[in-house]
Amino acid sequence: MRIGELSKQCGIPVETIRYYEKEGLIPAPPRSASGYREYSKASMSFLSFIQSAKAVGFSLKECRNLLSIFVTRDAHTCAEVKDLSEQKLEDLQTQMQALANMHQTLKAISDACCGGDESAANCAILNKFEGSET
Amino acid sequence: MRIGELSKQCGIPVETIRYYEKEGLIPAPPRSASGYREYSKASMSFLSFIQSAKAVGFSLKECRNLLSIFVTRDAHTCAEVKDLSEQKLEDLQTQMQALANMHQTLKAISDACCGGDESAANCAILNKFEGSET
DNA sequence: ATAAACCCTGAAGTTAGCTATAGGGTCAAG
DNA sequence: CTTGACCCTATAGCTAACTTCAGGGTTTAT
Ligand SMILES: [Zn+2]
Ligand SMILES: [Zn+2]
Ligand SMILES: [Zn+2]
Ligand SMILES: [Zn+2]
């Protein structure tokens, strides 16, 4: 299968596949006589692995680590994989907490504004942002 | 007050202050005979405005819009300001939801892994990422 | 008067994850 | 046998929000 076909199969742009290869996420496939990349069906595992891991918040760098564990998984333990997974769960919670804090703060600021058609000369939101005055 | 002093007062690096000026977030202050920026105490309002708005999730571009409303606030309405604020609240919720979905998905995947010291040859996490097998 | 600490500009570099461009070779159909 | 779809490489560009660098002037303290 050539790169265009693989791209269609997994819904990842051709350029992105080449980019993943350059970044060392996926192994370089064999080439045809004319230099075209020849992918096997197994190549799709790698791409769907990346898609899945990305979808739950892993960066490409982390995907590369996960993939390198995946290809040598006999030499790795479940504990190791689960650790990475639980670390990411914590990261996600930390990020959610940060967003929740921002939301709460902004909600309080926003609620103080009347939202009317009058001039914003004394708008509570602008005043809070400025720093002090009631 | 020169830029180093302002920087110390508000906790924003000197380079960042100059960057904000170049990006049109804060007005260019007057210069001394030798070309040094001379800030008044009012300049700190702008910087603390940016800090506050950034802290609740506004991008610098959005901060610039908010600041331009702030400086001409007599010609703007509370409704306008509150709209921006509520839009940002929605953005934050959307982002939180996205993170919550990732968390939920990853949690389910992670729970399926035994986390033991055995080989990861059949690790449920890796298998899920790969795409299919139980 | 000289050295440290501060200030200036403009341009380039950083991170992440692509996307686009330039310039060219290859393959399948009509 | 040529046209259009496809493939290749290398390099540059994109967004966001800075940070760093190169090269040079100023202020302040000793
Ligand atoms: Zn009002
Ligand atoms: Zn208001
Ligand atoms: Zn296990
Ligand atoms: Zn496992």
Tell me: pLDDT of A94 over 60.
yes
Contact between residue B63 and residue B50 where contact means Cβ atoms under 8 Å apart: yes
Q: Could you say which residues 71-130 of protein chain A have a Cβ atom less than 7 A away from any atom in strand C?
A: none
pLDDT of residue A132: 58
pLDDT above 70 coverage of chain A, percent: 98
When pLDDT is averaged across residues B88-115 and rounded to a whole number, the result is: 97
Contact between residue A58 and residue A95 where contact means Cβ atoms under 8 Å apart: no
Convert the pLDDT of each residue in A53-91 to its tens digit. 999 999 999 999 999 999 999 999 999 999 999 999 999
Confidence label for B134 from pLDDT (cuts 50, 70 and 90): very low
When pLDDT is averaged across residues B110-123 and rounded to a whole number, the result is: 96
Contact status of B129 with chain A (Cβ, < 8 Å)? yes
Confidence (pTM): 0.90
Q: How far is CA A42 from CA A26, A60, A68, A86, B109, in A?
A: 11, 20, 15, 28, 22
pLDDT of residue A48: 96
Residues of A in contact with B95 (CB under 8 A): 99
Q: How far is CA B114 from CA A78, A88, A98, B124, in A?
A: 7, 17, 30, 8
Convert the pLDDT of each residue in B2-34 to its tens digit. 999 999 999 999 999 999 999 999 999 999 999
Contact between residue B109 and residue B125 where contact means Cβ atoms under 8 Å apart: yes
Rounded to an integer, what distance in angstroms lies between the CA atom of residue B46 and that of residue A112? Answer: 21
Convert the pLDDT of each residue in B64-73 to its tens digit. 999 999 999 9
Among A43, A102, A120, smallest CA distance to B74 is for: A120
- DSSP 3-state of A37: strand
Bridge partners (DSSP) listed for residue B31: B37
Residues of A in contact with B55 (CB under 8 A): 102, 105
Write down the domain spans for chain A.
Answer: 1-76, 78-134
CATH class, domain A1-76, is mainly alpha
